[in-house]
Amino acid sequence: MTALMTGTLPLPYRVVRTADETPDTAGIVLEPSGTPLPEFCPGQFAMVYAFGAGDIPLSVSAVDGHRLTLTVRSVGAVSGALRNAAAGSTVGVRGPFGTGWDVPADGDVLIVAGGIGLAPLRPVVRRVLAARERYGQVAVLIGARGPRDLLRPGETREWQEAGARVLTTVDRPAQGWSGDVGVVTMLLDRAAVAPAGTAAFVCGPEVMIRATARELVHRSVPAERIQVSLERTMHCGTGHCGHCQLGPLLLCLAGPVVPWDRARPLLSVREL
C-alpha cells in the first residue's frame, strides 16, 4: 500500500480563498496543487498542516469534487495559522479519515449544532435540502455563544427559504438581538419532527452533545438514529498511534461520527 493510500503523506493543497465567518473563525477553500486525495464524505475529517506550526484535524464543511471547504476556529497555534492562511499559500492535507454522516433517503431530519459544530453539519443540510421533496420535516437548531459567533447567518436564512425550519439561540445576547436566548436543547420542542421517524445529527462541544442526545432519547428518538460527532486528540488519523482512543474505539477509524447507542456508554466513563 502506498503512503498516499494509507493517509500518512500530506499532499500540497492551495488555499483558493478564505472568508471570515466570525471574529475567530474562517472558511477556507482548498484545491489540490497536484495529485488529489480521494474524495471526502460529509462528516469525515482531514489532518491539515500549517507548515512550520503543525497539523490538526478539521472536518470538511463542503465538498465539491476534489475542492474542500474547511471551517477553522482559531484556538491555538495551528488553528490560528490556518485561520489566517493567505489565498495562494499552500497547506498539507491528509485524509479522508473516519466515518461520515449516514444521511437517510427520507423521513424527518433533525440537525442540532453548537458553535463551530455547525460546520461539519452543513453538507448534511445541503444534501437534504437538495432533495427536499423526499423528506418530511427538516429542522436545524443552532446554538452559539453570541450573535456575532453565528456562522454564516445568510446561509441559514437560505436554508429556511429552501424548506428547513431553522431556529437559532444564543447564550449571551447582545444589544439588538431579538431571537431566542438559552441553550440549544430548549429549542427541541419546537422542532416539529416526529421522534420515532427522525434521524438526528448532533455536533458541538461534548457537553452539549450529551445533553442534546439525552433530551432526544427522553423524547423517544431511538438512540441508534442519533448520530453524534465526537472529538478526541488526533495524531496519525490511521489507527496507529492510539491518541484518539475512546474506550474500545479509535475515533479516527470508528468515528468521529458515532451512533448514540454506541457513544453513550463510553462518554459516561470519567477521563483518567
Give the binding site for ligand FES (CB under 6 A).
Answer: 234-237, 239-244, 250, 252
Calpha distance 30→10 (Å, rounded): 14
- The single residue among 18, 42, 47, 73 that binds ligand FAD, judged by CB under 6 A, is 73
Binding at 240: pick from ligand FES, ligand FAD, another protein, none (beta carbon under 5-8 Å per type): ligand FES
Site for ligand FAD in 172-201 (CB under 6 A): none
The single residue among 218, 224, 233, 240 that binds another protein, judged by CB under 8 A, is 218
Name the grid cell of 19: 472568508
Under the binding rule (CB under 6 A), the answer on residue 117 touching ligand FAD is: no
Instruction: Report the residue number, 11 or 81, with the smaller CB distance to another protein.
Output: 81
**Cα 264 to Cα 272: distance, rounded to the nearest angstrom:** 17
Selection from another protein, ligand FAD, ligand FES, none that 134 binds (CB < 5 to 8 A by kind) is: none
Q: How far is the CB of 24 from another protein (least distance, A)?
A: 8
Asked if omega into 123 is within 30° of 0 (cis), the reply is: no
- Binding mask 156-195 toward another protein (x if CB under 8 A, else -) reads -------------x-x-x---xxxxxxx-xxxxxxxxxxx
Q: Which does 162 bind (CB under 5 to 8 A by kind): another protein, ligand FAD, ligand FES, none?
A: none
Euclidean distance between CA atoms 230 and 199, whole angstroms: 17
DSSP conformation class of 99: B
Q: What is the 3-state secondary structure (H, E, C) of 113-141?
A: EEHHHHHHHHHHHHHHHHCHHHEEEEEEE
The nearest distance, CB 59 to another protein, in angstroms, is 17
d(CA 184, CA 13): 36
Does residue 57 touch ligand FAD according to CB under 6 A?
A: yes
With contacts defined by CB under 6 A, how many residues of the chain interact with ligand FAD?
22
For residue 267, give the C-alpha cell.
Answer: 462518554
C-alpha span between 233 and 107 (Å, rounded): 34
